[in-house]
């Protein structure tokens, strides 16, 4: 057909506070040299809010569950230690580590500084949309890398000469990038999703050719034939843009 069926093709890169290039992060962290004198602290957290009511503390054992009206009027705790079970585990394990290496020494000082830095990151810097986070830190080496994720990871706290990267590697292996195509006769959107985060899109918009004419214009049969040609040509453009994007 003489008329181009596609009015516009636009490409977008979506900025996200969450990490999508996990492979690059893995390569960077795997290149870190061993630090046997002062070990590296690796923290992985399942950062999802607790249950279906984030911010609500579960009743203590033996206490009756509150009625709806009582829950509405009850004071709601605001701390992340209640909202996120991983924070409770983290605080307990980090305290145990500090106590184990205290009250002085290079490891004690480094781990103590790591604990403070991790808390500051979780409280002030981590995006609330994150469902998981991996933190690799060693204050003695000036090292701190946080990897916020849209996917949850198992909650672990490990201290060693090298970063513990198994959880991050699992995310990379188990959640490959995939594409989602939404299309009709007039518009199409091809989205690329990596680790549960949409980071690139291609959008196509068709023309409104052929327009309906007043009396004396094309017959209905001719109009329908041209419309079908446009739809088929637009579908070919969608297929070609999808092929190029993949």
143 and 192: one domain? no
- Decide if pLDDT at 213 tops 90: no
Assess if residue 19 is contained within a domain: no
pLDDT band at 80 (very low <50, low <70, confident <90, very high): very low
- This prediction has a pTM of 0.75
Assess if residue 83 is contained within a domain: yes
Mean pLDDT (whole number) for 32-53: 86
83 and 155: one domain? yes
Decide if 131 contacts 151 (C-beta within 8 A).
yes
User: Cβ-count burial of 198 within 10 angstroms (0-12 exposed, 13-18 middle, 19+ buried)?
Assistant: middle
167 closest CA partner among 134, 136, 121, 122: 134
Which run of H or of E encompasses 119? helix 106-120
Sign for the pseudo-dihedral over CA of 162, 166, 167, 168? positive
Q: How do the residues of the chain divide into helix, strand and coil, expressed in percent and rounded to 5?
A: 40, 25, 40
47 and 92: one domain? yes
Decide if 188 contacts 221 (C-beta within 8 A).
no
The reported pLDDT for the residue numbered 57 is 44
CATH number of the domain that residue 98 is part of? 3.30.960.10
101 and 134: one domain? yes
165 and 107: one domain? yes
Assess if residue 65 is contained within a domain: no
């Amino acid at each position: 057909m003489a008329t181009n069926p596609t009015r516009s093709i636009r490409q977008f890169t979506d900025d996200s506070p969450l990490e999508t290039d996990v492979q690059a992060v893995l390569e960077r962290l795997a290149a870190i040299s061993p630090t046997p004198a002062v070990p590296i602290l690796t923290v992985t957290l399942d950062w999802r809010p607790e249950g279906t009511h984030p911010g609500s503390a579960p009743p203590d054992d033996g206490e009756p569950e509150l009625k709806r009206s009582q829950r509405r009027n009850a004071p709601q705790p605001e701390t992340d230690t209640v909202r996120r079970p991983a924070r409770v585990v983290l605080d307990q394990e980090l305290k145990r580590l500090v106590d184990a290496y205290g009250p002085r020494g290079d490891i004690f000082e480094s781990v103590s500084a790591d604990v403070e830095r991790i808390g500051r990151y979780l409280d002030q810097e981590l995006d609330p949309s994150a469902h998981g986070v991996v933190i690799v830190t060693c204050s003695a080496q000036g090292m701190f890398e946080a990897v916020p994720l849209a996917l949850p990871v198992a909650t672990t706290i490990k201290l060693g000469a090298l970063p513990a990267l198994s959880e991050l590697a699992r995310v990379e292996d188990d959640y490959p990038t995939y594409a989602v195509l939404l299309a009709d006769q007039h518009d199409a959107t091809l989205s690329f999703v990596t680790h549960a985060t949409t980071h690139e899109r291609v959008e196509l918009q068709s023309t409104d050719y052929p327009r309906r004419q007043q009396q004396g214009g094309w017959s209905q049969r001719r109009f329908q034939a041209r419309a079908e040609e446009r739809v088929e040509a637009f579908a070919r453009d969608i297929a070609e843009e999808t092929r190029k994007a993949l």
